[in-house]
Amino acid sequence: MALSPSREAFITCALTGAGDTTGRSDKVPVTPAEIAESGIEAARAGAAILHVHVRDPETGAPARDPALYREVVGRVRDSGVDVVLNLTAGMGGDLTLGPADRPLPPSPEGTDMAGAEERLAHVAELLPEICTLDCGTMNFGEGDYIMTNTPAMLAAMAKRVQALGVRPEIEVFDTGHLVLAKWLAGQGLIDEPAMVQLCMGIPWGAPDDIGTLMSMVNNLPEGWTFSAFSLGRNQLPYVALALLAGGNIRVGLEDNLWLDRGVLATNADLVARAVGVAENMGVQVLGPEAVREKLALRKP
């Protein structure tokens, strides 16, 4: 378990996510204008990549309406701020079963299952440099919700993303997801250089202890680039841990609402703190142009 610390790294800022966080912090952006402005501020603070979800502007609930993505992307691109855009493609794989004594039919509340083309409609229209590929199925929370991504669905999505010339960010929530990612690469559906996000500490996925993180890092194929993050109070410590493990950084309000005890964060606050941690460790924080070169991204 030898550490190989990063000497240079990029920062991804996950701006809003799909979780029920808007009632816990007024800093979480909801409308397309708020999401775009929060992303622009995060980019100015040092984020090279913005990971973008959208929400229903009226309710704050997670959404996948291409029109909402269109407005966010348009506002960011028109701002003159250079940043790499990474649009989620995770929405549309949400399955909420009925109660334990009658799981079928699925509950209409929380269930949103869509085909590969529909899940990627905003990606095909807007052609971001990166989009996510949630590489597996797992339980979320203590209820009946399941994040659902079958091998056949992932293969279809990976093939479509590849044809669009968009780089997939492979979201790995557990060890078996990494096995599935390797299988997709072996099918020729993921081009090099592959990019992985190690999503740690999410119930009921891989715990965020150092041993589990390093076991996953040590099982990454040679040449794959990775970032790693954890949730809540462990998000900021994971900035240093990801760098010590040889990876890159992810912070943002999707995963953590707090800057310090009792102090709610903005996305820019979290990015600025991550920049400070990296620089104090002697790590050069990469900008968007260096990231485009490192990851062989298509030009926006």
Q: According to the model, what pLDDT value does residue 140 have?
A: 86
Q: How far apart are CA 39 and CA 47, in angstroms?
A: 9
In the numeric block, which tokens belong to residue 269?
Answer: 């606050």
Q: According to the model, what pLDDT value does residue 4 have?
A: 81
Q: How far apart are CA 27 and CA 267, in angstroms?
A: 8
Q: Which of 164, 206, 199 is nearest to 90 (CA)?
A: 199
What are 164-205's pLDDT values in tens digits? 999 999 999 999 999 999 999 999 999 999 999 999 999 999
Instruction: Give the start-to-end residue ranges of the domains of the chain.
Output: 8-295
CA-to-CA separations, 95 to 102, 103, 200, 216, in angstroms, rounded: 15, 11, 22, 27
CATH class name, domain 8-295: alpha beta
Strand 11-14 to strand 49-52: parallel, antiparallel, or no bridges (unpaired)? parallel
Q: According to the model, what pLDDT value does residue 297 have?
A: 96
Give this prediction's pTM: 0.95
What are 135-168's pLDDT values in tens digits? 999 998 878 999 999 999 999 999 999 999 999 9
What are 197-252's pLDDT values in tens digits? 999 999 999 999 999 999 999 999 999 999 999 999 999 999 999 999 999 999 99
Q: How far apart are CA 158 and CA 162, in angstroms?
A: 6
Q: Give the number of other CB atoms < 10 A from CB of residue 210.
A: 12
CA-to-CA separations, 22 to 17, 140, 251, in angstroms, rounded: 10, 19, 17
Cα dihedral sign for 43, 45, 48, 53?
negative
pLDDT tops 60 at residue 1: no
